[in-house]
Amino acid sequence: MSGDDPDSLMSLCSVFCLKNLRRTMCFSGEQNRLQLRPDVFLPGEICDRLVNEYMDLLHTDSDFEPQDGFFQLFSDPRSTRLTRLQLREDLVRDRDLEAIGKQDLMELHLTCCNRLTARSLQTLCSFKHSLRSLSEDEEDLEEHLQWHTVDLDFSFQGFNRLRLLNLGGLRAELDVETLLRPLPALTSLDLSSVHLPRPAFLTQWSERLASLVLYNVELTEELIHTLLQMSRLRHLDISRENQRTSKFKMTRKILSSIVQSLVDLVSLDISGHIMLDNCTVPAFEDVVGRPSIELCKSSIYPFQELKRPLQFLGLYNTTLCNVTHIPAYKLVSLFISVFAVCLQLVITALKTHKYDKSIQVTGSAALFYLTNTEYRSDQSVRLRRQVIQVVLNGMEHYQEVTVQRNCCLTLCNFSIPEELEFQYHRVNLLLLKILEPARQDESIQRIAVHLCNALVCQVDNDHKEAVGKMGFVKTMLNLIQKKLQDRMCDQVMEFSWSALWNITDETPDNCQMFLECNGMNLFLDCLKEFPDKQELHRNMLGLLGNVAEVKALRPQLLTKQFITVFSELLDSKADGIEVSYNACGVLSHIMFDGPEVWTMEEPRRTHVMDKMWAAIQSWDVSSRRNINYRSFEPMLRLLPQSGAPVSQHWATWALYNLVSVYPGKYCPLLIKEGGVILLQKVLELESSHQETKDMARRHNDTIDTLRVTS
C-alpha cells in the first residue's frame, strides 16, 4: 500500500540517537553537562532532523524527557550546521535560541513559544543575513504573544533575504507598516488577525508578492482596492472564522474584480463571508449533469471569468458552498475525496493549533469520521499511527469534554490492542486518568472502560502486569463501587467486571490486588443488588475463576460465606451454562487442594462436591461458549490427580466441550500443551471415575478424527 514503507534509516537513527545521546554522539562534561563529542561533525540535513525530531518526540512520546542543554550541542557552526527549524511551545526558551545564534538559519518556524521574551528578538537579528522564512503561530493571543509587545523598537532592517514572513496575530499597538517596510524581498506574507488601518503600504510588494494570507482580517473598501493592485498574487486567503464578527459584506462585484485583476490566481479562500447579493446561477439556468469544473458551467457567476480552474477554492460557511458546478480541483465546502490527504491535513492542523479550542473540537471529530472502516483501505500503517499519536496528544493536553470524547471514540476505530500496542503504556495511563474522577461524563466513562477492557484482552502477561501496576484494578473497582452506590448496573459496571476478568487472567499479582482492594465484598454486594443480571454474573465468576487458579490466594476464598455463594451458583441457569460452569471451576481449584484445607463444618466438602457432580451432569456438552482460552494450563493441572475426582471431571468435561465444539481452534492448543498425554493418564488412574474416563476416550476420538481429516 502506498505510504506503508518503513521509516527511513535516517529517521530511525535520529530517534535512536536522541533517546541515547550519551551513548552515541554526546558525553557528560563538567557538572554532568551534555556535550558533543569532539570527533563528531554533523551536516545541516542531520542537524535539522535531530532538532525537529527532538521537538516531535517531546510532544508524541510520553517517556521522552527534555534534555537540559540540548540546543547548546548546536552552538558551534564548525561542527554542526542548522538551516531549517520548527520550534514549538513552552519547551523553547530564550537561552535555546541564543545557543544557536551563530548558525546561518534559513527557515525558522515558531509555534506557541510563549516563553520567548524580548531577548529572543535580539537573537533573531543574528540570523538576519541568512533568514529567508520566518513564521510564528499562536492560538491564545491574549496569553502567548509576549515577545512581540515587549520591545516596540524591533526592526527588520537588514533582513534583506527574508522572503516568507508570518506575523499572524500581531498586536494592534505595533505599526505593521513600519515593521515590514525594510523587507524588499518578500514573496509570501501572513498577516492573519492583524489590524490594517492603512493597507496601501502592501503595494510596495505588488510586483513580488505571490502569497497573501489575511485570515480574520477585517476587510474594507481600501483594503480590497489595495488587493486588486497585487497583480502577481497566486494565493489569496481573505477567509473568516465567524460571520457574526464581520461588518464587511462580500458582493458579486468584488468577486468579479478579484477574478479580473488577479489573473495569476490559483488559490482563493473566501470562507466565512456573508454574500450580500446573489452570485449564483439560478437553478433553472444551471447546467444539468454531474458536477463539473469547466468555467463555462460554473454555478458561481464571477468564476465564469477565470482563465483556468483554480487549484483550490475555500467556500466553507458561505451561501456558495452548496452549488453544483465549482471551477476548482480542491474545495473546502465538503470533504476532499482523497481521505488519506484529508486525514494528513487534519493531523497537521491539530499538531499546529494545539491550544485552539475550535480546531481541537472539530479536528478530533473529523479524525473519528475519517478513520472508520469505510476509509481504512486508503490509510497506511504509518498514517494511522500518526492519528493515534495526535489523538493521545489531545487526550494529554486538552481536558475539554468534547475533545476527550472525540479522542476516545476515534481510538475505537482501531484494531485493539494490535494497532495501539506501540503506545500501549501511554494509552492505558491516559484512559485510567480519564476514569479517575468520581463523577466523570457518562459517555466518556463508558467508552474509556470499553477501551480499557479491549486493551487488556488478548495481550501477554507482561502487559497485564504493567497495567495492573498503573492502578488498573483499583480504578475498575472504584467505578464498580460508584455504580453500586447509584444502584445502577449499566455497561460501565459490566465492562469494569469484564476488564477485571481479562486483566487477572494468569496474572497472580493482579488477582492479589483484586482481593486486597475489597474485590470480594464488591462481588457479594453486586450479586445481592443485581440478582438477575446474567452478563454481570458471568463476568464476576470468570474473574473469580482466575483468582482460584492461584494456589497462594485460594485460602482467602475458603470461607463459609464464599463457598456457600459458589455452591448456590452451581444451580444458576444464567447465560446458558456459563455462570454454573465458572462457579464449578472456582470450586474445582479449591477442591484440588485436598480435604485437609477444608476446615469449616458447613457447608460440608462432600455436599459441595455432590452439587458439582450434579451440575456438570446437567450441562449440554455441545454447548457453544462465550469464552476465549489462550492456554489450558490451569485446567490441565487438575487432570493427573486423585484427591478430588470431581475437579478432574470438570477439567475433562471443559476440555472436551471446547475441542469438540471448536476443534480447529482448540485441538492444536490441547496437543501443543501436552493435554493428550495427561488425558491418557486419566484413563490409567484407578481413582478416575468411569464417566471421566469415558469423556477422556471421546477426546482421543475427536483428535484422531481431526488428524485424519487434516
Q: State pLDDT tens for residues 595-604.
A: 999 988 889 9
Domain that holds residue 603: 558-709
- Cα separation, 584 vs 465, in Å, equals 27
* 335 or 342, which is more confident: 342
Q: What is the mean pLDDT of residues 38-51?
A: 94
Decide: pTM greater than 0.75.
Answer: no
Of these ranges, 23-32, 583-592, 595-604, the one predicted with the greatest mean pLDDT is 583-592
Largest CA distance in the chain: 104
Q: For residue 269, what is the enclosing H or E element? A: strand 267-269
Q: What is the pLDDT of residue 2?
A: 43
pLDDT averaged over every residue in the chain: 87
Q: Is residue 8 part of a domain?
A: no
Burial of 546 (0-12, 13-18, 19+ CB in 10 A): buried
Q: What is the pLDDT of residue 338?
A: 56
Instruction: Tell me if 392 is assigned to some domain.
Output: no
Per the model's pLDDT, the better-predicted residue between 82 and 328 turns out to be: 82
140, 174, 207: which is the final residue of a domain?
A: 140
What percent of the chain stands above pLDDT 90? 55
Model pLDDT, residue 53:
92
For residue 335, tell me if it sits in a domain. Answer: no
Closest C-alpha to 536, from 593, 597, 483, 465: 483
Query: Is residue 241 assigned to a domain?
Result: no
Q: For 102-128, what is each residue's pLDDT tens digit? A: 999 999 998 878 788 888 888 999 999
| Positive/negative CA dihedral, 490, 492, 493, 499 | positive
What is the sign of the dihedral through the CA atoms of 687, 688, 690 and 693?
A: negative
Which are the contacts of 523, defined by CB distance < 8 A and separation ≥ 6?
540, 544
In a domain, 457, yes or no: no
Count how many domains the chain has: 2
pLDDT digits (tens, 9 = 90+) for 348-367: 888 877 778 888 899 999 99
pLDDT at 600: 87
pLDDT exceeds 80 at position 647: yes
Query: 48 lies in a domain?
Result: yes
pLDDT value of position 325 = 84
Residue 599 maps to a domain: yes
Amino acid at site 634:
P
As a whole number, mean pLDDT of residues 538-555 equals 94
432-445 per-position pLDDT tens digit: 999 987 556 888 99
DSSP assignment of 295-319: GGG-SBGGGGG-SS-EEEEE-TTST
Mean pLDDT of 271-286: 78
pLDDT of residue 640: 86
Share of the chain above pLDDT 70, in %: 93
d(CA 87, CA 74): 14
Q: Can you read off the three cell numbers belonging to residue 345?
A: 491535513
Looking at 140, 174, 196, the residue that finishes a domain is 140
Of 284 and 84, which is predicted with more confidence?
Answer: 84
Q: Which pLDDT band holds residue 519 (cuts at 50, 70, 90)? A: very high
pLDDT at 480 over 60: yes
Q: How many residues does the chain have?
A: 710
